[in-house]
Amino acid sequence: MKKQRLVLAGNGMAGIRCIEEVLKLNRQRFEIVIFGSEPHPNYNRILLSSVLQGEASLDDITLNSKDWYDKHGIILYTGETVIQIDTDQQRVITDRKRTLSYDKLIVATGSSPHILPIPGADKEGVYGFRTIEDCQALMSMAEHYQKAAVIGAGLLGLEAAVGLQHLGMDVSVIHHSAGIMQKQLDQMASRLLQTELERKGLTFLLEKDTVSISGTSRADGICFKDGSSLKADLIVMAAGVRPNIQLAVSAGIAVNRGFIVNDYMQTSEPNVYAVGECAEHNGTVYGLAAPLYEQGKALAKHICGVPCEGYQGAAPSAALKIAGIDVWSAGKVHEDECTTSIKIYDEQTGIYKKALFEDDKLAGVILFGDTRDKQRFLDSLLKQRDISIVKRQIIEPEKASTLFESMPSSETICQCNSVTKGAIENAMHTKGLTTVEEIKHCTKASGSCGGCKPLVEDLLRYMTISEYTEPGGTPSFCGCTDFTEDDIIAELQRKPFSSLEEAMSQLGWKTKNGCPKCGPAIQYYLEMLQPGFVQLELPTEDSCILIPQMYGGCTNAEQLRNIANIIEAYNIPDVSITHGQRLKLSGIRPEDLPNIKKELKMPVCSNEHRRTLQSVNACTCGQNRSIQQLAAQIERHLEMLSMPAYISISLSCETDCTDAAIQDFGAIQTQAGWDIYIGGVRGTHARSGALFCVTDNADSTADMIKGLIQYYRETAHYLESVHQWIDRLGIVHIREVLFEEDLRTHLLESLQTDFSLIQNPPIQAGAHKKG
């Protein structure tokens, strides 16, 4: 199939993150062309203030080098700007008179500094602070001039002011309001921050309205509305930004403050999308990394045909990036008649914390002086946690060791890049990471706004203490061997061992017969790697359990009558109904088991010594038998196959039963087809699985579920649950495999081969599986 051409106008953080997501989902779908107005590859614009403050170099903030574009076959035009969109012909025109057609167009032109429309704003020595060139110009100017003025005391203005002071300049900050960072902080936090910055040497001129820039060809000062003035050799305009929407206006695309987009980032014109600071979603223009990255994910899934709910908006948060000053806020920060608050101020330590609530649900947070708990508070804000929970968090903050010990692996550490605690732990264990910089390059945690860096540092320190134990999501082998689990699998792939004893002997096992942990694991890997491998016979217990197979949970009078006769004839003491919709016969004498199996005249779905699929639960709502029929079809192709761990599968309707959403694998029948979910968790900590895909009919649903299970069988560690397997491999990677028709077909063929060998085992073990 011919590739579609995907054109990206804008080479910034939001646009490139969107392209990265497209490459993860479907690398072969598009021919990708990118136009960037700046002469650089993609870099982290958020960290320009860190460069100015001497905390990072220009090389440190490069996100994707030229080699990355080449590696992925992306055509990059730097220093070239798209100036026109022809939506009728579906083409773009650049300032170099280049015309290029598109099948899909993503506009990610970002925003520009708001230069106050006042006399003298165009003089030499007046700058915005937005690009690498701006940063380099300010650093150069600091070598020749002494007095600087920054207009605007928001995040960017304060970071620029501290940077200029770091370069040796005398800096004054001018602000039109009575308090600095008034959009992100309340009066108390604003005063505390101003005091800290004044201690660092900054001067503040508040409630000042700038009316003109003085000087001849070059700026030499600022004049204010009240008649006063200020001498300055260098002036930085940091009075906000404006979305770049000129392309939309000229092309007739709907705009307000930005390109108006829906949940899938579509504009009013077909095949034209917008993402980042130039996009307006539900009346909001976002300027933070985390929401812009989420926009990119939604857009990428949409154009790649992957089902998703779209972008749902985000709670605004802000962190000041100034060394030695910890300030963070999220959500609502100013009280009104609908809010209540909890405030704590420790004057001795300079720590201030405030939580705002609406209807006893967390609505906003301010942290000053100690921001270590900001990820937990952001999580509480997103989940609308109750006041009783947040009160405990704000009054009794956890120590790092206690915090990480109780933190689940699925909790997000880096909001910008959606990096979980488990992902960082797994990367450290498997790749030997020992520094925050290595973690950043491997997982991207702390690689965007940098706000989570202290939390990553705390996690790194916590994982080096003696009390730390590896998480359950990172399976490892026992003390019988020095090999890691991955090493064991590699060795079993290389050598066709004929028995468990031979494998242990050849691999230098420290104990003769292993232990209850490693023995069953190696047995499982041998069976998976060598089709037809005979499983180890385990000793018979004093009594046995037997579960007659009832495909899809369906039975009939003849089967039930026969089972009842057997129960009476063999005095089977315990009969119960399992959660898998089956009859369980317990307390069978071992010597009776062969005769009972023979007289049942039906297969059994119980094997006490091997992890196999026990049943596929089927919703019984209504008169539609299609759910039970599909459950039976899947069961017949999977029964008796060994699994890395016990798994649950359930099929539901969308009307009265959604049990499928909390199983390892599940499918919910809808009016349009089937929604397939994976990675759900049952029990006291139950949670819904992730929507994996949508299928049209029962056959494609069965194939997708069977393909998923075979890929799980082939790639999961022994005893690794499905949700742990997903966390380790990543759902995007699993989709890449299963959505590729040839790979899915190969998995289904392997599954059929394994199933045939279970039904008709060969006399000797066969050859190894490939790959």
Identify the CATH number of the domain in which residue 560 sits. 3.30.70.260
Q: Where are the alpha helices (DSSP H) in 345-420?
A: 374-382, 387-395, 400-406
Round the average pLDDT of the chain to a whole number and report it: 84
Q: What is the pLDDT of residue 769?
A: 40
Q: What is the pLDDT of residue 476?
A: 45
Comparison of pLDDT for 367 and 411, the residue scoring more = 367
Helix axis angle, 731-739 relative to 13-25, nearest 10°?
A: 50
Domain end: 453, 474, 495, which one? 474
Looking at the structure, tell me whether residues 51 and 105 fall in a common domain. Answer: yes
Q: What is the 3-state secondary structure (H, E, C) of 83-109?
A: EEEECCCCEEEECCCCEEECCEEEECC
pLDDT tens for 234-283 read 999 999 899 999 999 999 999 999 999 999 999 999 999 999 999 999 99
Domain contains 365: no
* Token couple for 415: 């909001």
Comparison of pLDDT for 80 and 408, the residue scoring more = 80
Say how far apart CA 393 and CA 402 lie, in whole Å. 13
Domain end: 183, 213, 239, which one? 239
For 142-146, the CB contacts below 8 A with 24+ separation are 142/167, 142/168, 142/169, 142/234, 143/167, 145/169, 145/233, 145/234, 146/170, 146/233
Could you give phi then psi for residue 475, rounded to 5 degrees?
A: -60, 145
Residue 1 scores a pLDDT above 80: no
Q: What is the pLDDT of residue 448?
A: 78
The mean pLDDT of 524-529, rounded to a whole number, is 77
Looking at the structure, tell me whether residues 51 and 97 fall in a common domain. Answer: yes
Residue whose C-alpha is closest to residue 206's, from 232, 231, 181: 181
pLDDT cut 90: percent of the chain above it? 42
Residue 446 scores a pLDDT above 90: no
Q: For residue 66, what is the domain's CATH number? A: 3.50.50.60
pLDDT tens for 276-306 read 999 999 999 998 888 899 999 999 999 998 8
The answer to whether 712 and 751 are in contact (CB under 8 A) is no
State whether the Cα torsion 26-28-30-35 is positive or negative: positive
Looking at the structure, tell me whether residues 14 and 162 fall in a common domain. Answer: no
Max distance between CA atoms of the chain, in angstroms, equals 110
Least confident of 302-311, 460-469, 702-711: 460-469
Count the domains in the chain.
6
Q: What is the pLDDT of residue 539?
A: 45
- Of all helices (H) and strands (E), which one includes residue 471? none
Q: What is the pLDDT of residue 189?
A: 96
Helix/strand/coil for 113 = strand
Say how far apart CA 506 and CA 487 lie, in whole Å. 14
Q: Would you tell me how many other CB atoms lie within 10 Å of the CB of residue 401?
A: 14
Domain contains 534: no
Q: Would you tell me how many other CB atoms lie within 10 Å of the CB of residue 432?
A: 8
Q: What is the pLDDT of residue 88?
A: 96
Residue whose C-alpha is closest to residue 539's, from 510, 516, 564, 511: 516
Q: For residue 752, what is the domain's CATH number? A: 3.30.413.10
Domain end: 183, 212, 239, which one? 239
Residue whose C-alpha is closest to residue 501's, from 484, 483, 513: 513
Looking at the structure, tell me whether residues 19 and 67 fall in a common domain. Answer: yes
Domain contains 491: yes
Q: What is the pLDDT of residue 106?
A: 98
Looking at the structure, tell me whether residues 654 and 750 fall in a common domain. Answer: yes
Looking at the structure, tell me whether residues 736 and 643 fall in a common domain. Answer: yes
Looking at the structure, tell me whether residues 410 and 552 fall in a common domain. Answer: no
Residue 696 scores a pLDDT above 70: yes
Helix/strand/coil for 168 = coil
Say how far apart CA 584 and CA 447 lie, in whole Å. 53
Helix/strand/coil for 439 = helix
Looking at the structure, tell me whether residues 641 and 714 fall in a common domain. Answer: yes
Phi-psi region of 181 (alpha: psi -120 to 50; beta: other; left: phi over 0): left
Residue whose C-alpha is closest to residue 653's, from 634, 679, 680, 671: 671
Domain contains 393: no
Comparison of pLDDT for 503 and 396, the residue scoring more = 503
The answer to whether 378 and 452 are in contact (CB under 8 A) is no
pLDDT bucket at 467, cuts 50 / 70 / 90? very low
pLDDT bucket at 655, cuts 50 / 70 / 90? low
Comparison of pLDDT for 582 and 679, the residue scoring more = 679
DSSP letter assigned to residue 241: E
The answer to whether 660 and 677 are in contact (CB under 8 A) is yes
Q: What is the pLDDT of residue 403?
A: 62
Residue whose C-alpha is closest to residue 376's, from 409, 344, 398: 398
pLDDT bucket at 123, cuts 50 / 70 / 90? very high
Domain contains 272: yes
Radius of gyration of the chain (CA): 31
Give how far Cα 217 sits from Cα of 134, 213, 670, Å: 19, 11, 69
pLDDT cut 70: percent of the chain above it? 86
Say how far apart CA 187 and CA 193 lie, in whole Å. 10
Looking at the structure, tell me whether residues 149 and 224 fall in a common domain. Answer: yes
The answer to whether 273 and 266 are in contact (CB under 8 A) is yes
Give the Cα-Cα-Cα angle 330, 336, 340 (nearest 5 degrees): 70
Residue 468 scores a pLDDT above 60: no
Say how far apart CA 347 and CA 326 lie, in whole Å. 15
Comparison of pLDDT for 770 and 440, the residue scoring more = 440
Give how far Cα 83 sits from Cα of 9, 91, 95, 209, Å: 9, 11, 6, 34
* Token couple for 337: 């008649």
Could you give phi then psi for residue 150, rounded to 5 degrees?
A: -115, 120
Model confidence, pTM: 0.60
The mean pLDDT of 74-87, rounded to a whole number, is 97
Say how far apart CA 283 and CA 300 lie, in whole Å. 22
Query: Which range marks the domain in which residue 498 is found?
Result: 485-529
Burial 81-112 (b: 16+ CB within 10 A, else e): bbbebebeebebebeeeeebebebbbbbbbbb
Q: Where are the alpha helices (DSSP H) in 143-281?
A: 155-166, 187-199, 246-251
Q: What is the pLDDT of residue 343?
A: 92
Domain contains 391: no
The mean pLDDT of 536-553, rounded to a whole number, is 62
pLDDT tens for 181-201 read 999 999 999 999 999 999 999
Q: Would you tell me how many other CB atoms lie within 10 Å of the CB of residue 232?
A: 28
Q: What is the pLDDT of residue 473?
A: 41
Domain contains 358: no
State whether the Cα torsion 285-288-289-291 is positive or negative: negative
Domain contains 212: yes
Helix axis angle, 374-382 relative to 387-395, nearest 10°?
A: 170
pLDDT bucket at 466, cuts 50 / 70 / 90? very low
Residues 6+ positions from 560 with CB-CB distance below 8 Å: none
Q: What is the pLDDT of residue 407?
A: 66
Looking at the structure, tell me whether residues 141 and 174 fall in a common domain. Answer: yes
Looking at the structure, tell me whether residues 639 and 750 fall in a common domain. Answer: yes
Looking at the structure, tell me whether residues 105 and 248 fall in a common domain. Answer: yes
